[in-house]
Amino acid sequence: MSTLTLVHARAVIDGALAAARLQGFRAMGVVVVDAAGQVVASAREDGATALRLDIALGKAAAAVGMGVNSRTLTQRAKDLPAFFNALAAASQQKFIAQTGAVLIVDPSGHVIGAAGASGGTGDEDEQIVIAGIAAAGLVHA
């Protein structure tokens, strides 16, 4: 598999939201993007606040754009705040360097997309996208 399909993306979202409900997390938004940072699928649970999808997209697009999970970006942003502020302002896509997005890779380790979530803590967001990726039978970086 070298591309992320709509079927995969929907399975990631379904798995992530199921994990959120199982853990009793707040209402979530989840976005899956392809390797170019373009939205393949997204969903916002009933009761999730209005910006959840925007934030989830910003996390996922940042992860794909920089080629690392957003947890790593969060640390890098702390170390280089001026650079990351400029990067977010200059990016053509949404760019949020905050924990909650994970890269999706093919069997050879090439990035084929990312899943991002928003609604809980960064750790909760990351936890559910990892669960969603696994539920879809995919691998995360």
The alpha carbon dihedral of 118, 139, 87, 74 has a sign of: positive
pTM: 0.95
What's the DSSP call for residue 3?
S
pLDDT at 1: 56
Strand order, beta sheet including 101-105: 39-44, 29-34, 111-118, 101-105, 139-140
Q: Indicate if the pLDDT at residue 111 is higher than 90.
A: yes
- Give the confidence band of 64 by pLDDT, cuts at 50, 70, 90: very high
Domains identified in the chain and CATH numbers: 6-140 (3.30.450.150)
Average pLDDT over residues 19-33: 98
Residue partners of 126: CB distance under 8 A and separation at least 6: 69, 70, 71, 99, 100, 101, 102, 117
